[in-house]
Structure 1
Amino acid sequence: MISVIIATYNGEKYIQKQLQSILNQRKQPDEVIIRDDCSTDNTGNLIKEFIKENELSNWSFETNVSNKGYRGNFNNLLSLVNGDYIFLSDQDDEWLPNKIEKMVSIFENNQHILALNGSISLIDGHSHSIEIIDGKNMYNSNFYFSVKKLKRLNQIPLSDLVISNVTPGCAMAITKNLKEMFLQSYNEMIPHDWYLNMIAAIKGGCYYLNEPVINYRVHSNNAIGLSSAAERGLKAKLKSFDKEERIKNFQMQIDAIDKLTIDFANVDIKTKESQNYLKTRVAFYKKSTFMNLLKMCKYKDYQERTAIRGRIWDLVLALKIDSLAYLLDRRA
C-alpha cells in the first residue's frame, strides 16, 4: 500500500499545482491524507474543490482544530497513515511523474532501505527552472555534502546527518517500520524529515537517490538551504547574522543525537566526532575568541565542509568586526 501525506498552511498560490502533480503520477497512491494547519487564506477550499472535481474517494482532507506547526502537523499525519511506503509532500512543489513509481521500485528491490531521499531540481514561482552550481563536494543543489563521489544509490551514515540533512522532506519516502519507530521517539525538537533520516541511518537504512524526483519551488517562504547573503554586502550580512539562532539550531542537533542514543543505540565514533564538532561551534558562537576558533579548526568536519568564505566569516567573528559594525551602525 502506498500513502501520501500533505501538510498545508496558507498555500493557496501553489497548492493546485502540487496536487495535480500527485494526481499525474504514473503509479497512483492508495491513499492521500491532507491536513491543513488552520490556514487564513483559501487553501482549504481549493483542496476540497480539487478532490471533488476529480472524484478522489481515496483522498481525505481535514483542518486541524488548532495550529500545530509544520513539525506537529507532519507528526500527526504520520500517526494517521496506513501505507507500507509513505511519501511526504509539501504544498508548493511539483512532483516529477515517475517519482512514486521509481522510489517504490527501489524499496521493493532493496528491503533494507527505511528512508529513501530523492534529489531535487529547482524552480521559481513561475515553474521556470533555476540552475545553480554545486559547491565543492556538494550535491543536490547544495543540500548534501559528501567527500565521497556519489553513485546512483548511496547509503547515508549518521555522521553525515549530524550537521545537515540530505534533502528536503518533500523529496523523501519512508517505510511503515520507520514510521513506527519515529512515532515512539519523536518530540519535535528537530524537523521531522531530518529525524526520520537519523533513525534510518542508525539502522543502516538511510539512502540517497542521486536523481531528481521533484521540482522544488524556491520562494521567500521556503528557501531552505539557499542563501542570498553571500551576494549581499558585509554590513547586510552582519546585520542578518543571528548568533542566538545559530546556537539554538546547533544545540537542537546535538540534543537529537543524544536522544537517538538513548532511544535506539550507541552512535559510532565518527558520529560522536561530528557531534563534538558542533559543540565546539556552539562554544565559538557563545564566545568568539581565537582560542575557540582554533579548537573548531582542528576538526575534520570543519576542514572539509567550511569553504573559504565561511572561514573568513569565522575570522570576522573572532576579530569582533561584527560588534564594531553594530556600533558604527548605531552611531550612523
Structure 2
Amino acid sequence: MRISVALCTHNGERYLEAQLRSILDGTRVPDEVVVSDDASTDATLEVARTVLGSAGVAHRILENPRALGVTANFEQAVRATTGDLIALADQDDVWHPSRLARIEAELGGVGVLLRHSDARLVDEVGDDLGTTLFARLRVGAAEAAAIDGGRAFATYLRRNLATGATTAFRRELLDDALPFPAEWVHDEWLAILAAAREAVRMVRDVEIDYRLHGANQIGVAEPTLRYRIARVLGDSGDRAALLARRSQVLAERLAARGLPEHAAQAAAKARFEGRRSRLPALKIARVPGILGGLFSGGYRRFASQRSLDAVRDLFRPA
C-alpha cells in the first residue's frame, strides 16, 4: 500500500528539518510527502524545499498566501495526498523509526480505519519531560477498555483522545470526513467518525517525541493546581454552546452517512450541551438543571470531566 505523509507548517523553520529527517530516515520510507504551509514568514518553505528536494521521495509543497488555520490547512494537505494510508505530522515533533512500518502493518488489513498512539513529551530542545501524552491527558484504564471493547464512539463523544501528530488513517475515511467542519479540529473529527464505524485503535506505545514549546499551535497544557481551579471557575457556558453546535454538526453528518444510531447519540449530546449553555445567570436557579443532568446521566455520558463539569456549571460566571 502507498503511504502519504500530510505535514502542516507555519513558521516552523527551527524544528522542521529534524522532523522531516525523522520521517525520511524511518524503517519504512513514505511514498509521498505533502507539506501545506500556512503563510509562514520565516524560512520554513526553504527548509522544506531543501530537505525534500534531495530526499528522492515524491513530494508536493503547497503555499497559502493567507493563513487558513489549523483544520483547513490539514484538510488541504490530506486532499492533496494520493496514498492509501495517510499519516498526519506536525512540524515540530520527531518520529520514532518504526512509526510508518507499524502504521502500514496495522492499517493495511481490515477492521481499522484510524489509529493514534501515545507520545513521549519533550521540551523545546528535545529533552525528555518524564511523561507521555496519554499520561498528561489522563487516559484511564476504563477508557482504554471501552475502546477495545467496541464502545469507542461513546468514549470519543465524551472527550477526544486522539492527537493529530500521532494519527494515521485509511483513505476511505475521507468519504465520511470531507469536508472538515469549521466547528471541529481535524484530529478529533477524524477520530469520532472512525469510532462511529467502530474502526478506531488507540495504541498505547510511544511512537513520536511530541515537542512542547512556547509556539505550539495546539498543545498539551500542564494540569497545575492553578489551571484546574481556573477550569472550574471559568465560563463553561460558551464552551457548552460550542459543543452543542459541534454535536449537531456531527449528528447531521452521521445521519447523512447512514449511521442513525450514532447520529441519535450525537443529537442527545447536542441537547445536553444546549441545556448547559442556557443555565440561568442566578447560581441557585441553576441547581435544578444541573441535578437533572446528573440524575439523567447526561454529565456521565457526555461531559468530558463528568461530575466536575457539573461543579463548573454551578460556579461559572453569569
Short-chain TM bin: 0.7 to 0.9
Q: CA deviation at 1:74?
A: 1.1
Equivalent residue, structure 2, for 1:328: none
Q: Name the SS of the counterpart of 1:267 in structure 2.
A: helix
**Alpha-carbon distance in 1 for matches of 2:282, 2:147:** 42
Over 3 Å counting, the alpha-carbon distance change for 1:295 and 1:33 in structure 2 is: same
Contact 1:8 1:35 in 2 (8 A): yes
Unmatched segments (≥5 aa) in structure 1: 324-332
Does residue 1:257 correspond to 2:258, yes or no?
no
Equivalent residue, structure 2, for 1:73: 73
Specify which of 214, 231, 234 is matched with residue 208 of structure 2. Answer: 214
**Alpha-carbon distance in 2 for matches of 1:227, 1:37:** 27
Specify which of 183, 186, 192 is matched with residue 180 of structure 2. Answer: 186
Query: If the length of structure 1 is used for normalisation, what is the TM-score?
Result: 0.80
Does residue 1:230 correspond to 2:225, yes or no?
yes
Identity %: 20
Contact 2:119 2:132 in 1 (8 A): no
**Alpha-carbon distance in 2 for matches of 1:232, 1:263:** 39
Unmatched segments (≥5 aa) in structure 2: none
Q: Which moved more, 1:86-95 or 1:277-286?
A: 277-286
Deviation string 1:15-35 (CA, Å, 9 cap, x unpaired) is 122112112211011000101
Q: CA deviation at 1:281?
A: 3.2
**Alpha-carbon distance in 1 for matches of 2:298, 2:177:** 27
Q: Which moved more, 1:171-180 or 1:151-160?
A: 151-160
RMSD between aligned residues: 3.2
**Alpha-carbon distance in 2 for matches of 1:151, 1:46:** 43
Over 3 Å counting, the alpha-carbon distance change for 1:232 and 1:203 in structure 2 is: closer
Deviation string 1:148-174 (CA, Å, 9 cap, x unpaired) is 554996756222222322221111111
Over 3 Å counting, the alpha-carbon distance change for 1:207 and 1:9 in structure 2 is: same
**Alpha-carbon distance in 2 for matches of 1:233, 1:87:** 33
Q: Which moved more, 1:306-315 or 1:254-263?
A: 306-315
User: What one-letter code is carried by the residue in structure 1 that aligns with 2:212?
Assistant: V
Mapping of 1:248-327 within 5 angstroms? 248-264=241-257, 265-268=259-262, 273-284=268-279, 289-300=286-297, 302-303=299-300, 306=305, 312-317=311-316, 322=317
Deviation string 1:211-238 (CA, Å, 9 cap, x unpaired) is 111111222334544344633595xx38
Instruction: Count residues in correspondence.
Output: 310
User: What one-letter code is carried by the residue in structure 2 that aligns with 1:255?
Assistant: Q
Over 3 Å counting, the alpha-carbon distance change for 1:229 and 1:104 in structure 2 is: same
Q: Name the SS of the counterpart of 2:82 in structure 1.
A: coil
**Alpha-carbon distance in 2 for matches of 1:129, 1:87:** 24
User: What one-letter code is carried by the residue in structure 1 that aligns with 2:248?
Assistant: D
